[in-house]
Amino acid sequence: MRFEAIVVGVSAGGWQALHRILPGLPATFPTPMLIVQHMAPSSDDYLARSLNDFCALTVKEADEKEIIRQGYIYTAPANYHLLVEQNRTFSLSTRATVNYTRPSIDVLFETAADTYGSHLIGIVLTGASHDGSRGLLEIKKAGGLTIVQDPRTAEAPFMPQSAIDMVPVDYILPLDGIIPFLAALVSTRTLK
């Protein structure tokens, strides 16, 4: 099975979690990763710039109509929903908040599931809301692979626990186990 994209949702505790795991991705990691981190509407692109300083892959904020490219990590801009279009480009939306937030994890996950189907990996990390649970369920229904951070390793366990409660998750992994698992999965391209 070839995975075309990875979507990640993270909220409270996300800054630390992302800075802890993403530097572990090798420069040769081909699968694009799309991240929604809940943040204040007035935030700038500091998250992407900071991660870019520590990662072997290029990390940047997604732009409207940008083509999703292999070997990149994209973050949602503050105060915009990040959507994946059928032609594998991004669109940004200022429509109403979803789960009291914009960007919403569910919006990214649902549009990515519609686009990539069974060739998508969805990951829910630390957070203090239920955002991402409904979207992860859509990924599962589309035949994608679902991963949730073990709530015992999360700074804020509510969001991963909510996903586990709603979705028959494929893998529940400790934070430090997620990147080695992805690297092995992408390199073999098959599940054992």
Nearest to 125 by CA among 47, 11, 39: 11
- Tokens 């870019």, residue located: 52
Catalytic residues: 11, 38, 131
Q: 116 in a domain, yes or no? A: yes
Question: Would 29 be classed as within a structural domain?
Answer: yes
What is the domain-level CATH number for residue 135?
Answer: 3.40.50.180
In a domain, 76, yes or no: yes
SS3 of residue 156 by DSSP:
coil
Burial per residue of 2-30, b for 16 or more beta-carbon CB atoms within 10 angstroms, e otherwise? ebbbbbbbbbbbbbebbeebbeebeeebe
Q: Are strands 120-124 and 58-61 parallel, antiparallel or unpaired?
A: unpaired
Answer yes or no: is 66 within a domain: yes
**Domain presence at residue 167:** yes
Q: Name residues whose C-beta falls within 8 Å of residue 103's C-beta, 6 or more positions apart in sequence.
A: 36, 38, 76, 77, 78, 79, 80, 81, 82
Task: Return the pLDDT at 188.
Answer: 59
Is the pTM of the predicted complex or chain greater than 0.85?
yes
Domain count, the chain: 1
Contact 21, 13 (CB under 8 A): no
Predicted pLDDT at 192 = 36
> What tokens were used for 185?
């999965």
Q: Which range marks the domain in which residue 22 is found?
A: 5-187
Task: Please give the pLDDT value at position 1.
Answer: 54
Asked if the structure places residue 50 within a domain, the reply is yes
Task: Indicate the residue type of 68.
Answer: I
Collect the ranges in the chain with pLDDT lower than 70: 1, 188-192
- Rounded to whole angstroms, how far apart are CA atoms 3 and 13? 27
